[in-house]
Chain A
Amino acid sequence: MAADIKPRIRVPQTAKKDEIIEIKTLISHPMESGQRKDSQGKIIPRKIINKMTVAFNGKPVFEAKLEPSISANPYLSFFLKCSASGNLDFTWTDDDGSVYKATQAITVA
């Protein structure tokens, strides 16, 4: 199951100093809401990405707590003001405890 969960991020690789850039993220994940039933009428247990955290050079800059109301393959976008070059680290946390990660370097000219 975990094999088909794949994070995708779209971050500009370079930015001008203090430019505000848009960060787009998507992780392929069913976001099983815990509301649906299978063909036998049994409730399919909830399994969602419940949290995404983003850190820039180790410092947390953005965090999202997600509920079952979020669509499958959760897409999130937000903004970041680039004051210096560095690494942007993304972490998604699954209900089952799995953690998915992605990293992107940004060069500030």
Chain B
Amino acid sequence: MDLLALDPTKFIDLTASGVCFLFLVGFIGGLVSGFIGSGGAFVLTPGMMSLGVPGTVAVASNMCHKFPKALVGAIKRFRYGQVDVKLGLVMAASAAVGVQIGIRIQQVILEKWGQVGSDLYVSLSFVAVLVLVGGYVMRDALRCARCGGVETTAPLALRLQSIELPPMITFRRSGIRISLWFTLPVGFATGMLAATIAVGGFIGVPGMIYVMGVPGLMASATELVIAFVMGLGGSINWAMHGMVDIRLVLIILGGSLLGVQLGAIGTTYVREHMIKMVMAVIMLIVAVSRGIALPRYLVKLGLMDMSPEMLDVLGKISFASMCLALLTGAVIILGSMWKGRAAAREEAHGQA
């Protein structure tokens, strides 16, 4: 009989409420991921930590649920003709380099300024990237909505596609031909962001749309390929260090596989600008959430003065607003699907 015991410092006792919470967040995170290609990780990791899971186990378990979810979502969307596998693999290769550099930067910051400095760097990156990129995506989504949901190729992407800088790569599925040198920075930035805030898709998807000229639908689906490749590599690494809690992974996966399929189906009902809209809304709310969390790190670094009670309240507001971001995204997706289904039914009825 095997007497190997579970290390209580690494693995929590599961409670019914904890299981329900993880399943539900898994479902909503899966729904958002299936629709926009990423999301959920920014709530799941702190969510697990709030249940008492140590940070490293939370990150490892989150990553280990992410890659099979991305695989299922990518297969589903591939069947809808939305995935560019070649583009996904090229992006994943450069993203892997970005991840390594991102980890190295984190290590340097950790050595120089400690854990607080590292947390501040992560939060500042969150706020800066999400406000800038999220704001731009939102502006474009609103413009698209005003023009009846018709998506056009971004001027920067058109310009870059016209530059003949060998080696040129043709991505048949996406319908673009572009120099490899312009794809590398996008993949690299995706990896850097993934290593910093764990959601590389927040730069990968807009990067593919606005820098490379990939349609929004195709970019969000291809992001799932990148997430699978990077998630698999990261999970093997974490699992070799024994940091994956398979119980948590399977509970989250139970919900997220339901969600990711629904999100993927949802993409076939909505106009393309809705993907940008959902992504921008989530990014901007998450940016606010991280902004609210900033004073905690500034106080620890001695750059600001605030009472512990106030910091505690801000921490709770920050986490609640992150949950709100995910929930808002889910509501928009389900609402758009509902409308899309009603319109499709009406159209079918009219033709009959």
- A and B held together in a complex: no
User: B-side interface residues toward A, CB under 8 Å?
Assistant: none
User: A-side interface residues toward B, CB under 8 Å?
Assistant: none
